[in-house]
Each structure stands twice: as C-alpha cells, then as structure tokens.
Structure 1
Amino acid sequence: MNPIFPASGTRRFETAEETQSFGQELGRALEAGDVVILDGPLGAGKTTFTQGIARGVGVKGRVTSPTFVIAREHRPLIDGPVLIHVDAYRLIGEDGSGDPIGELDALDLDTALEDAVVIAEWGGGLVEQITQSYLLIQIDRETAVLEDPESQARIFTWNIIEA
C-alpha cells in the first residue's frame, strides 16, 4: 500500500457519501497485491465503502454486494490493478460447516494477488491466510446509535497487520 494512507487510525463518518469518500481516499493508495479485510455487522457499510474504494482504484462496473456470487471481479478503466470483491461469509456456509479454506482456494485469489486488490467482507479469520500482510478495517455502527438513536454514523478503525 502506498504510504500516503496512514497505517492505522480511526475516523467517524455521518453519511454514506462520507464513507464512500473515505473509501476513495483508500482506493487511491491501494496497489496490486493489497488485501483489505472489512469487519462489521450486517448493514455496517462494507459495500458502500467498497464502492468508494472502486472509484479510487479506478475500475469498471457497478459495485454491489457479492453475497450471492461470492466474488466479483472489476477490471481497471486504465492501467491499474483488478479489484476483487469477496463475501467471505458465504465461504463459511450458513451452518458453519464446509471447507472455507478450500472454497477460498477455489476462487484462485492467491494467484491473482499480484495483479489485484482484494476487498473481503466478513474476511476475518479466513482471508488473511492467503497473504503475509493486510489492512484490517473494523466498522462500528453501534457506538453512534447508543449516543443518538437517530444517528447513521459509522466509526472506522484500521490497522495494517503483518503476519
């Protein structure tokens, strides 16, 4: 990852537009081979954030949740990395059985890393097994709601993790 983006931090965003803008900021710093794990509850804004990342990376196509297809690949508009958007939750299965590592391997993400940026929703405990370092982003939507039940704010906390 380009050092223009801080290795760790916390920010609060009040709107989806602010969340996407932050994603775009991160996307401009991402390089082929980078892996980003998004951790947060359902509805936290993981896909909204990824839409901003896609703008920053500069890829084609509309970014939607990969829930039903497990992974979506977005090609660059010009010279740049492919964006692979993964829903790792689907690799685990509804009942928690199955072989998530085998399913992850079947996506061939480890061979695509040299040419792609990988964004993995629900990827904690799984996706980091395909890389030596990754950016872990935790999205908290509960703290702001406890302060103000009408709040739509999200708090993003991130750290680069070196294995």
Structure 2
Amino acid sequence: MQTVELPAESDTLEFGRRLGAVLRAGDLVLLDGPLGAGKTVLARGIAAGMGVIGSVTSPTFVIARVHRPESGAGPALVHVDAYRLGGLDEIDDLDLDTDLTDAAVVVEWGEGLAERLADAYLLLRIRRRDDDVREITLEPHGESWEPRLGELAAR
C-alpha cells in the first residue's frame, strides 16, 4: 500500500494518465472517496492515459459509460458510478464481469459492491484535505497489481 499526494487538479489528471497507461483489458479499479474528492477527475486522467475519445464526465445518472480508444487499439474504458445502485443485484444487472474480458472497468463508489467482479483489483482511496491537496492511497488486491504499481511509480 502506498499513498500519493496530489497538490493540484492537474496532478490528479496526470496521475490518472500514468495509471491509464498501465491498464489492460480485465483490470478493475475502484475509486472510493467522498463527494468532491476527485474521483471523476481521476477517471478523466485514466481515460486520457488509455487514449479514449470523447469527454469523460460523471456517469451518475446513466450509471455506466463505455469509452473506446481513439486508435482502435487497446481496451475500452467502462466508467461506472455505483452511487445510485441499491446493491449486488443491480451491479450484477450491469454485466460488468462480461465487460472485463475486453475492457478496463473503473467504478466510482464501488467499494463493497464491485470487488467480487474480479480476483484482482486496485482500490484507490481518495481524500481531499482542507488545503485541497488530494491524497490517494493505492490498495492492490491480487498479485498482478504489485509489479504494475512499481511501473506506475516509475512513469
């Protein structure tokens, strides 16, 4: 487990870009933090790192959005907001485990619901301090994440 300090929104975007560059199909990333912590900003950076097209906004009202890479190469990004979901049955209805075969899935508000979609996942706990600095704690679950977190830190 490691914690990263991100003083500005641009740092959060850049961290997301670096994370997006190491994601591959089958990856599950859960974003946890209160309203305004920066989950969607981080997701925007992840999308940029994956080379997806179109703007990335919070999927609060549509629950899930699929973003395809501009070049056609690489996995799609499935961006989910689980805030309005009522439980495990509703997350099952989204069929995200099927999406994991050819996409990276990023779930805002997913802790307690989405972990069971994959044996390995990365939980990012985002906290926004009173001085507006974001602290992101990276909690890897599963062996595949440890070496990639090293790769992320090296970028």
* TM-score calculated relative to the size of structure 1: 0.84
**1:158 partner letter:** L
* Secondary structure at the counterpart of residue 89 of structure 1: coil
Q: How far apart are the structure 2 equivalents of 1:104 and 1:135?
A: 18
Given the alignment, which residue of 85, 92, 96 partners 1:109? 96
Q: 4+ residue runs of structure 1 moved beyond 3 angstroms?
A: none
Report matched runs for 1:123-162 at 5 Å: 123-141=110-128, 144-145=129-130, 151-162=131-142
Asked if 1:83 is matched to 2:70, the reply is no
Shift of 1:162: 2.6
**2:69 partner letter:** P
* TM-score calculated relative to the size of structure 2: 0.88
Shift of 1:70: 0.5
Residue of structure 1 in register with 2:64 after alignment: 71
Shift of 1:107: 1.1
* Secondary structure at the counterpart of residue 80 of structure 2: strand
**1:40 partner letter:** G
Question: Which one has a bigger Cα radius of gyration?
Answer: 1
Shift of 1:89: 1.3
**2:140 partner letter:** I
Structure 2's unaligned 5+ residue stretches are: 144-155
Q: How far apart are the structure 2 equivalents of 1:162 and 1:122?
A: 20
Residue of structure 1 in register with 2:9 after alignment: 16
Report matched runs for 1:24-63 at 5 Å: 24-63=17-56
Report how many residues are paired. 142
* Secondary structure at the counterpart of residue 31 of structure 1: coil
* Secondary structure at the counterpart of residue 52 of structure 2: coil
Q: How far apart are the structure 1 equivalents of 2:74 and 2:133?
A: 32
Q: What is the percent sequence identity of the aligned residues?
A: 53
* Secondary structure at the counterpart of residue 78 of structure 2: strand
Asked if 1:119 is matched to 2:113, the reply is no
Q: How far apart are the structure 2 equivalents of 1:37 and 1:9?
A: 15
